[in-house]
A and B are shown apart, each in its own frame.
Chain A
Amino acid sequence: MSEVLVVEDEEHIQRLVKIVLEKNGHQVSTADTGEEALEKLDAGLKPQLILLDIMMPGIDGLQVLKKVKSNQLTKDIPVVMLTALAQESVVLQGIKLGAKGYIRKPFHPKDLVERVTSFLSEDQK
């Protein structure tokens, strides 16, 4: 049972990720925008993993990542990027900013589960 925060502006994708992860025993909270995610974290949400979309309106994923990693309270939460972007440079930037890895869209649900599980267990070591 672990808390995963999914930050994704596309409604269907957000729901898909939630369904898939909940089916596999994870507790999932969601945010539609970067701002909402940061607000929830500020308000005390302590997920064990953040799945973060990059292309979002308002503040984009990389900016969210930067803020999460520079905040004492949240900097140790592993962040995994969810991205449809083919730009390697953006992905690399994310890694430089402290993301643990990335999952490319579209993904197969079982792959998503496997990767989330492995990111979570990596962190526990």
Chain B
Amino acid sequence: MSHEILRNIISYDQDTFTQVTRHYGYVSAAVYRLMGKKLIFVLGSELEGEKPWPPTATFSSDYTPRKGPGLPVGWIKPPFQTETRKIWPKGVSFYFPVQEWSATKLIFVVRNAVGKRTKIGDLDGPLEALGAGISASIDQGEMRQFVSEAHNLEQMERVTIDLQLMIDHELRTPLTSVVGYAELLLDPKKNPDKKQVDDYSNIILDESNKALKAVAKLTDLFKMHWSPEENSQLVESIDMNDICSEVCEIVKSEAEKWSVPIGINSQLNLSFRKPSDQRLTIKGHLPLIRNAIFEVLKNAVMYSGHGTVSLTLYKSEDSVVVDIEDDGVGVSQGAEELIFLRFFQGPLDRSMKKVKRGLGVGLYIARCISEQHGGSLRFIRGAGRSGLFRFILPIEVSAERQDSVNLTQAG
């Protein structure tokens, strides 16, 4: 069962949960994969009324050679105690963060009022009903809060560890080519011919540049501070119509390299909507603004389900707004702010066959840039999981601009 319902979730989703686990009777379970290697077990109940006390779950690894229930590799206890609560409402679930992916089998053990432990079943088999007398309930609000806190904590922990791993991996990969091809060039037994010398040397140069880029990007993260005051000579008027158009063209030409969605429509369908009657300008650092929009648009393309992405530029009161929307998996409840954390990696849509995932810093950088320009970047939720990314940037209004707008219209 666990394999069929492996999904990526970032927070509790009641509808999905009850739908998936209906057939388990009293205590139901679903196994989800969260952010790569962590497994979250969600245990819940289908029926109202008196219930067994929240079960602790042990799980065993199917990598051990022994048969039978296997070796328990750890106890997971609920993070909160609920002895005082009586009723377990329908459809509410626990959420147990797990350290490492190692489980494929879940065994439920319930502790009754006198502390006696009873195995009530395992994931693959029928679950026995337990007698009345022990019950518990979970407050939904508390659960939601716990879920989002658990995510935040996990994310924070991940950042430090991931940074170290990222640096390691991002540098080791190009260095493998640098070391390897250099040794080929220096091999005393087999002198490379001129073509090979050129070829290998170019690869060494190429990969060295990649290593440099990785270092630069990673160190940039730690000094994302650019202020207009400090860099006044770099501030200029930026025509957002032009910039957005430029970014769209770049994305169209690069999109193939990022992802290959399986599906009938595997072509990128990127639409750019802008006001026909006005040019919108902001003041700022042009390369940074371009980069910010590029990062969000790239993100949309990479996570788009069937390749439909749109960028809409418009004016709203004193602001220039850029809305970027895609038809992909969207962002789960509670994760709207998490996605902007450094190194956050979103879940991969199963329809994306081949995606070269980045460092997970694009959205973080884009948000930093927006804020440095006196604006903001947020994920605005639509219905369900869908939504869009919205840049809001203060519009530049000046007499000169107005004149040039009029000229454009006249010309």
Contact = CB atoms under 8 A, between A and B. Distances in A.
Interface of A: 10, 12-13, 16, 19-20, 23, 33, 35, 55, 57-58, 84-87, 89, 93, 96-97, 104-110
Contacts of B169: 55, 84-86
B357 A109 contact: no
Interface of B: 63, 100-102, 164-165, 168-169, 172-173, 175-181, 183-184, 190, 203, 206-207, 353-357
A33 to B, nearest CB: 6
B366 to A, nearest CB: 22
B381 to A, nearest CB: 28
A86 B173 contact: no
A86 B168 contact: yes
A87 B353 contact: no
A86 B206 contact: no
Contacts, number: 70
A57 B183 contact: no
B304 to A, nearest CB: 16
B187 to A, nearest CB: 8
A12 B203 contact: yes
B177 A12 contact: yes
Nearest to A17: B180
Contact of B180 (A57, A87, A104, A109): A109
Given A20-B184, A109-B184, A85 B175 contact: no
Contact of B354 (A57, A87, A93): A57
A17 B168 CA distance: 21
Contacts of B179: 106-108
A115 to B, nearest CB: 14
Contacts of A85: 165, 168-169
B180 A16 contact: yes
